[in-house]
Amino acid sequence: MMSDKHSSQTPWVDGLTIDQVLKQTVNENKDQDALVFTNLGHRNNWQEFYEEVEKTAKALLAMGIQKGEHVAIWATNVPEWVYLQFATARIGAVLVTVNPAYRPFELEYVLKQSDSVALFLVDRFKKSDYHKMVTEVCPALATSEPGKLSSDKFPKLRSVVSLKGDCLEGAYNWQDILEMGEGVTAEELATSEALPSPDEPINIQYTSGTTGFPKAATLSHRNLLLNAYYIGFCQKMTNADKICIPVPFYHCFGCVLGTLCCAVFGSTMVIPEEYFQPDKTLDAIEQEGATSLYGVPTMFIAQLEDETFSSRNLTTLRTGIMAGSPCPIEVMKQVIHEMGASEMTIAYGETEASPVITQTRTDDPLELRVETVGRALPDVEVKIVDPESGNELGDNEQGELCSRSAMVMIGYYGDKEATDAAIDKEGWLHTGDLAVRLPNGYFRITGRIKDMVIRGGENIYPREIEEFLFTHESIEQAAVVGLPDKKYGEELCVWIKLRGDQEMTPEEVQNFCRGKLAHYKVPRYVKFVTEFPQTVTGKIQKFKIRDIMKEELGLSEEQTA
């Protein structure tokens, strides 16, 4: 039976914890599918899902994990990830989500910075050997008893648990801790659940690191539940929906907009694979009759270009979320007309906002879904301010986008200075993104303040040049950065990925810009590439492009001093 009880703009989840929300959803949807991993043939209805979460919560208690302690998970999209997400919330532990693309140096940073007492990890994925990397970072593990790790480097870390695969020296296996949990009584579990406050921290998510070392955004039950509710509200979600989630769990796109949104609305989580694969994602949509699909634009492009796409039956698709970077108009047209997701939405936000700040609505016209990032979520304030003076700006004036709501993070863990820089005394979160508010209340993102290039005293916003380059039929993607220059302070450099077998020369790119852009906006350096350095969620890491080009061209910041 379809429930529309959650279709009101007033969020029923406000004032509750994640576990309280889950319990209510389970009571209302016991026999409906909750979690489906199509690649594994793994399926739980909501009652079975809750039982798995309960087993996991007991296992955590058996390991000695207490309310408020930090539990890290370094894994791809596997079932245990989701059980841990809800089990840690149930006992009030704080889940630390670690990017599975991290290497030993980054893992070491996160384990130290987060003060995690336990680390859950997969054994291997593709060419990554996680067991080897954790042993490299923490040699003391190999000579420890499971659960009794003692490391000077990681003084808080007590336990490591391998979720699958071979036995890791000094670590528990997943089955080990589930068996340990069988000794925990229902009374002991109930005691551990002594209702935590919805405003207490429950999750640490590391910012995606497009500008340098990631920061630890600390989020509460309330932060996450309200965001999950509102983004589902904007998609008109009910318990009849099935969300296909090919985006990574470690990221807020996967674990807030994905799994947590499903728990709020009683929708089904459909997981195609451990990582994004276009064919497996299309398989999952077809097999399970998914009604909603998530992804960054490059994921949608990959599915549309899959050789099997034309033979697919995707008639169940209705809505979804596209986020992470601008959506080319032709791609959105194909998503609507060829995939059938006529109510696809665009979302914008950042981890610090739990994460969505603005979103288009299911009935918005096409131009608003490709030219804007929507309007503010319900109960979210958004303003545009002058980055220099802090004064609020009017419509059609470019400035920094700031947001204020009950979804703004508690702060950056262990970094008060960075927290104070991000959230002002009036509670406004400063995103660092440049934006324009249109008279209709919709927002257009125009760039990053830190991306701004100053050439000979002229302020240049790379986004403007990138959007112009996207209008060339041969150009699929472009990323503009500033490089050090003796004469002008900075010069423009563009990396370009061409469509298919198209060809261009640097001179042709520059000539395309001349006469249409101011002379100082014509890139001096043009490099053709087949891929960009990106985060797992598809954000281009411009600082890496700068570093690569500075090395290639023999440039240094000192030359401009």
- Residue 72 β-bridge partners: 96, 119
Q: How far apart are CA 327 and CA 295, in angstroms?
A: 11
Give the containing element (helix H, strand E) for 434. strand 429-437
User: pLDDT tens, 310-334?
Assistant: 999 999 999 999 997 777 788 899 9
Q: What is the pLDDT of residue 208?
A: 60
User: pLDDT tens, 73-122?
Assistant: 999 999 999 999 999 999 999 999 998 988 888 899 999 999 999 999 99
User: pLDDT tens, 488-516?
Assistant: 889 999 999 999 999 999 999 999 999 78
- Residue that the structure tokens 């804007």 belong to: 372
User: pLDDT tens, 178-214?
Assistant: 999 999 999 999 998 876 799 999 999 998 654 456 7
Mean pLDDT, residues 335-340:
96
Q: How far apart are CA 75 and CA 38, in angstroms?
A: 18
Which distant-in-sequence residues (6+ apart) come within 8 Å of 7 by Cβ? 233, 236, 238
Q: What is the pLDDT of residue 541?
A: 87
Mean pLDDT, residues 242-266:
97
Q: b or e along 263-277 (b: 16 or more beta carbons within 10 Å of the residue's beta carbon)?
A: bbbbbbbbbbbbbbb
Q: What is the pLDDT of residue 235?
A: 97
Q: What is the pLDDT of residue 211?
A: 45
Q: Which CATH class is domain 453-560?
A: alpha beta
pTM of the model as a whole:
0.87
In eight-state DSSP terms, residue 93 is: P
From-to residues of CATH 3.30.300.30 in the chain: 453-560
How many residues are there in the chain? 561
Amino acid at 320: G
Helix, strand, coil percentages for the chain (3-state, nearest 5): 35, 25, 40
Least trusted range by pLDDT, from 31-35, 124-128, 160-164: 124-128
Q: CA separation (Å) from 415 to 45, 295, 409, 470? A: 41, 31, 13, 39
From-to residues of CATH 3.40.50.12780 in the chain: 19-26+40-206
* Residue 92 token pair: 């009030």
Q: CA separation (Å) from 530 to 270, 474, 533? A: 31, 13, 10
Q: What is the pLDDT of residue 559?
A: 43
Q: What is the pLDDT of residue 6?
A: 53
Q: How far apart are CA 295 and CA 301, in angstroms?
A: 10
Q: How far apart are CA 365 and CA 362, in angstroms?
A: 9
Q: Which CATH architecture has domain 19-26+40-206?
A: 3-Layer(aba) Sandwich (3.40)
Average pLDDT, the chain: 93
User: pLDDT tens, 338-396?
Assistant: 999 999 999 999 999 999 999 999 999 999 998 899 999 999 999 999 998 999 999 99
